[in-house]
Amino acid sequence: MIVKSTPRSYSSPARAAAADETRARILVAARTLLGDGKGLPPFSLDNVAKQAGVTRLTVYNQFESKRGLLEAVFDDVAEEGGLTELPAVFAEPDIDVALRRFVSVFCRFWSGHGSAGPLMPKFGALAKLDPETAASLRLRTERRRQSLTVLVKRLLPDAPKPSAELVDVLFALTGFEMFEALSARNRSAAAVEVLVQELVAQTVARYRGGK
Amino acid sequence: MIVKSTPRSYSSPARAAAADETRARILVAARTLLGDGKGLPPFSLDNVAKQAGVTRLTVYNQFESKRGLLEAVFDDVAEEGGLTELPAVFAEPDIDVALRRFVSVFCRFWSGHGSAGPLMPKFGALAKLDPETAASLRLRTERRRQSLTVLVKRLLPDAPKPSAELVDVLFALTGFEMFEALSARNRSAAAVEVLVQELVAQTVARYRGGK
DNA sequence: ATATTGGATATACATACTGTATACTCAACT
DNA sequence: AGTTGAGTATACAGTATGTATATCCAATAT
């Protein structure tokens, strides 16, 4: 008795490599169109595909949907955006230094990501308009709040009460929206970081000093 | 010699009144769909028209385009949102009181506008995705920066240098994004206002105290 | 009373975007 | 030599914005 056709499955080297490369090209294209380039076409799967030299259906093959592409872009950006330094920040013994470095890491993160200017503005707007995308973005940004919770616990070991409040304030001060608002008048990313550092420092002092 | 047909133009009472009423109905519908109601359909001209009991083309008649509708919504909201108190705030002789009232006015403004919850989140997202809408929204929010410039001038009469910097920081602290970020964990609008007031107060103290 | 006007409607059309379905091409692997 | 899998070609459905044309009807003007 002969089994007719056992579907033989693959695990191919070159095939996968090529696929990864087109996937990477699509991500680059998406990041380009999410930037604030002036002559660039608006962000749509069609335009992303064209920019990547690929069919729109290939985008669907790789990323399932527009939402999937956006999530992948965010993760891609996060990976190479300096957020990998965070473990080192947490290892920092001096809590004040750790907090300063934390602020620094995120200011550089918000300030842009290589290619075509900061992409967070458009990205955030697109995310807000789709509830599910908003939810998955929230999952990712809440990690920052978790990190701040840990730092605040080290900062106020004998917590009175409102340490959650301090966490929320620091979360707001280190968020992208604050960074963007302070970037008015062509203020450089470094100058914005100085302002954020001062706001954070004074706030921490207020909560630590008994208030 | 008789002039054939002078196009007789109107200035009609009842017609205009009826038109104003449908216009108002459309605005209400738009605000409803911009809110965060859960069972509501998404914001689109078609859904706005349906909600208003009107044809989509009537929306175009009244507001030219989606952008026009959004701008009209913002102006409508601004008019009845307490921003009319601002002149009184400026008339306030005590500058510290004036600044506190300024913060209070905007916190209440951001917190919601009658109908169906706060509409600024969706509104801001939609505005950011269309450059022209973004520009017209910026025109409107820059008034807040102008106001703050005036207040800061009164606050630091013998201005050293960085008063523009203080304006930008206060602008960021009193913006919608800050309000939204601090509204985490179901914090009430009043509680958020307290936090903003403290941030503003400490920042002003820092710039006034020499530093 | 009759003609006109202006707001609103009905219907149709052009364009663009997301998402799905089916059949096909071609290089990589067994 | 045959199969697999990433990518393509083409088509279709549903929704969105925006434009064009003809029509309805009550509020006005003569």
CA A23 to chain CA centroid, nearest Å: 19
Angle at A135 between CA A129 and CA A137, to 5 degrees: 85
pLDDT at residue A98, as a whole number: 98
Q: Which residue of A has its CA nearest to B175?
A: A181
Closest nucleotide to A18: CA versus each C1': D6
Query: Under DSSP, is residue B198 helix (H, G, I), strand (E, B) or coil?
Result: helix
A33: phi then psi, degrees, rounded to nearest 5: -75, -20
Residues in chain A: 211
pLDDT at residue A166, as a whole number: 97
pLDDT (tens place) for every residue of chain B, 211 residues total: 434 445 566 667 888 999 999 999 999 999 999 998 788 999 999 999 999 999 999 999 999 999 999 999 999 998 888 888 999 999 999 999 999 999 999 999 999 766 657 899 999 999 999 999 999 999 999 999 999 999 999 999 886 666 999 999 999 999 999 999 999 999 999 999 999 999 999 999 999 986 5
Contact between A181 and B175 using a beta-carbon 8 Å cutoff: yes
pLDDT at residue A211, as a whole number: 55
**Is pLDDT above 80 for A101?**
yes
Question: DSSP secondary structure string, B74-114?
Answer: HHHHHHHTTGGGHHHHHH-SSHHHHHHHHHHHHHHHHH--S
Least confident of A108-117, A202-211, B31-40, B188-197: A108-117
Least confident of A74-88, A176-190, B42-56, B108-122: B108-122
B121, B164, B168 ranked by CB distance to A182: nearest:
B168
Q: Could you give the CA distance from residue B51 to residue B29 in angstroms, rounded to a whole number? A: 6
**Is pLDDT above 60 for A184?**
yes
Residue A199 contacts B where some CB pair is shorter than 8 Å: yes
**Is pLDDT above 50 for A4?**
no
Q: Which residue of A has its CA nearest to B170?
A: A182
A128, A164, A172 ranked by CB distance to B181: nearest:
A172
CA B6, C1' D30: Å apart?
12
Q: Could you give the CA distance from residue B119 to residue B64 in angstroms, rounded to a whole number? A: 21
pLDDT at residue A82, as a whole number: 84
pLDDT at residue A7, as a whole number: 54
Stretch A172-190: mean pLDDT: 96
Q: Which of A61, A67, A68 is nearest to A19 (CA)?
A: A61
A125, A168, A169 ranked by CB distance to B125: nearest:
A125
Contacts of B177 in chain A (CB under 8 A): 175, 177-178, 180-181
